[in-house]
Amino acid sequence: MNLQEIVKTSSAIRLRQRLLPEGGSGDKIFPPTFAGGMYCWEQRRIDGKNVPCVLLDSVASQANRLEESLAELVSAGSIELPHLVVNFTDDLSDLGEISTLAAPHRVFDAILRDSNSKDGKPFFKSELYKQLTACNIRNATALFASSPSALLFGCWDSTGAAGGLGNKFARSVTSEIVGINAEWGATQGGVRQDPLGISSNVEIAIDQEGDWSVVGKASGGKKERAKGTRPSEINHGNVLLKVESGTRETVDADGVIQSQRMSLKGGVTVDHALQTTVLSLTALRRLRFPVDGKSGTDEIARAVLAALALVAITVGRERGYWLRSRCGLVADGMQELEIVGADGSSSALKIDSTTAISAYKDAIAAARKAGLPWNAAPVPLSPQPKLIDLIKKSRQVQSLGG
């Protein structure tokens, strides 16, 4: 596999992986919920027909899962990958380490911005931070050296000196999982039975420290009860599981929209799920990587990024598809990755994680030989006192019900 040649001449590398529920065909699965408890429904055009589909895992969520795959490899010592990491200790040791492979906005995340470098100075005033924020598509060498994954999954310097005008790097890797020909499931709610048999007619009081005490028998009716006086609010007593409803819209063969009220959060059944993952080689070819003001290393750096993407894609698939509670998926056979040519033709790319990691290591060696910077050791950062105080105050407020 000549990865440099593939990156130079082809348009994309893609994977279209069919998936089925772990429980088998026809088993109910549960998509993520969005505002109002809704699933993300849409009509997709498949083979010339409008097909009802539901989002099972978004592009952003898939990016996080691919980054998790890379983080596990780094932690196991299987690959080297430049990244920055903020270490939380003492009272915040439960947070552990948050790296650019986990921070929501990657290398430009506020967690890193509000941390200190090894010398104790604010990271946003460091020379490295200045180099990173100065990056653009004509010169992305500093990002390549310190956080190459950000060039694959996208990043935006939205809080730097330029504010919202800070440099953006679009995703080169996109992936999503969609349920095809999806049907709404139904739920009737129910009651969570309390083994202690605590009555809802008992009144309690919750103090400012979040502790509670018994007041006695409730004097008012259900609608007159004040917030914080019911045992169910401290998870005692029987709890009624409400059924919320929403509007299901479908488009018939004549293009007419049909509406129907149905229960929300009842899960779905699908013909199958489809994971579509694309590494855009045309996007990679927009990036330039000069060294000491000289060109000639662009194709070598792009090959490293492409190999890193293939590592994430192959390892991510081998990790499996547990998306959330009651939404575990399994492959319906293992579809091959495809190389998509400029003319739209495609050919199989036979590759697994072992081959991808080997290609990645070879690409790194070639990059080093060409003089490209590569900071294999993670850059350690520590949270600033004000960030620590913000976290602690937030936890205190939340413990009081805020």
Give per-residue pLDDT as tens, 69-112.
999 999 999 999 999 999 999 999 999 999 999 999 999 999 99
- Helices within 263-340 (DSSP H only): 281-284, 298-319
pLDDT classification of 221: cutoffs 50, 70, 90: confident
Residue 162 scores a pLDDT above 60: no
375 in Cβ contact with 82 (< 8 Å): yes
What does the block give as tokens for 312? 């994430």
CB within 8 Å of 185: residues ≥ 6 apart: 28, 266, 267, 268, 269
291 in Cβ contact with 372 (< 8 Å): yes
For residue 127, give the 3-state DSSP assignment: helix
The mean pLDDT of 126-138, rounded to a whole number, is 95
Give per-residue pLDDT as tens, 280-306.
999 999 999 999 999 999 999 999 999
pLDDT of residue 374: 98
pLDDT classification of 161: cutoffs 50, 70, 90: low
30 in Cβ contact with 40 (< 8 Å): no
Distance (Å, rounded) from C-alpha 349 to C-alpha 339?
A: 6
pTM equals 0.87
- Helices within 259-352 (DSSP H only): 281-284, 298-319
The mean pLDDT of 252-277, rounded to a whole number, is 79
Q: Which residue has the tokens 């199958």?
A: 272
The mean pLDDT of 220-243, rounded to a whole number, is 79
pLDDT of residue 234: 86
Q: What is the average pLDDT score of the chain?
A: 91
Give per-residue pLDDT as tens, 165-207.
678 999 999 999 999 999 988 776 667 788 888 988 899 998 8
